[in-house]
Amino acid sequence: MDMRPSPIAGQWYPGDARTLGAEVDRHLAAAGAVKADGAVVALIAPHAGYRYSGAVAGHTFAAARGLLPEVVAVVGPMHYPLEGAVLLSAHGAYQTPLGPVTIARETCRVLDDAMRQELGAGLTPVRGDPEHSVEIELPFLQRALPEEWRLLPVMVRDQRREVARALGLALARALRGHAALLVASTDLSHYHPQAVANRLDRELLRRMEAFDPDAVLRAEEEGAGEACGIGALAAVLWAARELGADRVRVLDYKTSGDVTGDLDRVVGYAAGVVTRGTM
């Protein structure tokens, strides 16, 4: 199999299967049972190293336990200056210490076609990328989901509204009719004092819980809130809404300062779930 090697195993999370599995299981157990209040359509997860954001991610993926998706679309930012507005892995699978995660190539093709119709440009394939925002979520998904699933890995470089909205609509078209789960991979504010970070993050999360992707994007433009994956988050919110979701709920929130005790320059992390009413 054409495998994307991990550039972060052993650094951002443990590099051997036993230690990694035990750490992920510990975070999931600490989160306890998460009542989703409807059918889970999407999740919001942080993407820092597990030392910093693993406990928050545990709340995210505790909401996924027992789900049986065929395809999981993980949508995160591309932090590196690679070419392309929206990128997609050209490999056949991602490698983690817990085993390979096969990429849903046919769904990738459908998404590419949908992006060409929505935006006039398709996805840019990339090999050997250094991006962590998709990979960091995979061990949690591998432990939380009880059956085999395939991955749709999407990395957003251009986070403008027109790109995010087109991606959201295209994701909905690609996933409609399938047992699917969306994951928005994003951290929140970066490198502010704790009090400032809390203010910025609370406002962004308020707009997220209002299920308003336009307001989420405006938060950064207005200086009212921040997220490094704000375009990815907005795209997932648009996609989830198109797929019938009607509620967003924050499950947990912390900063790196809550973990390290350094409150001068912190990064914000949130866990969230997007659901569709069962009426």
CB contact at 8 A, 132 and 185: no
Label the pairing between strands 71-77 and 150-156.
parallel
Report the C-alpha gap between 133 and 185 in whole angstroms: 6
- Return the H-helix or E-strand segment holding 244: none
Report the C-alpha gap between 262 and 52 in whole angstroms: 12
First-last CA distance in the chain: 43
DSSP, collapsed to helix, strand or coil, labels residue 235 as helix
pTM of the complete model = 0.97
Per-residue model confidence (pLDDT) at position 44? 98
Give the contacts of 258 (CB within 8 A, at least 6 positions apart).
Answer: none
Find the DSSP H helices in the chain.
Answer: 17-31, 50-62, 105-119, 138-144, 161-175, 194-209, 213-221, 230-242, 256-260
Report the C-alpha gap between 267 and 95 in whole angstroms: 27
Contacts 24+ apart (CB under 8 A), 101-105: 101/138, 101/141, 101/142, 101/150, 101/151, 102/1, 102/150, 102/151, 103/150, 103/151, 103/152, 103/153, 104/70, 104/71, 104/150, 104/151, 104/152
CB contact at 8 A, 227 and 247: no
CA dihedral of residues 241, 245, 251, 253 (deg, nearest 10): 0
Return the CATH number of 3-276, one of 3.90.1300.10, 3.40.50.2000, 3.40.830.10, 3.40.50.10490: 3.40.830.10
Measured in whole angstroms, how far is the alpha carbon of residue 216 from the centre of its chain? Answer: 15
Report the C-alpha gap between 200 and 133 in whole angstroms: 21
What tokens does 199 get? 């203010």
Q: What residues in the chain have per-residue pLDDT under 50?
A: 279
Report the C-alpha gap between 36 and 210 in whole angstroms: 17
CB contact at 8 A, 216 and 230: yes
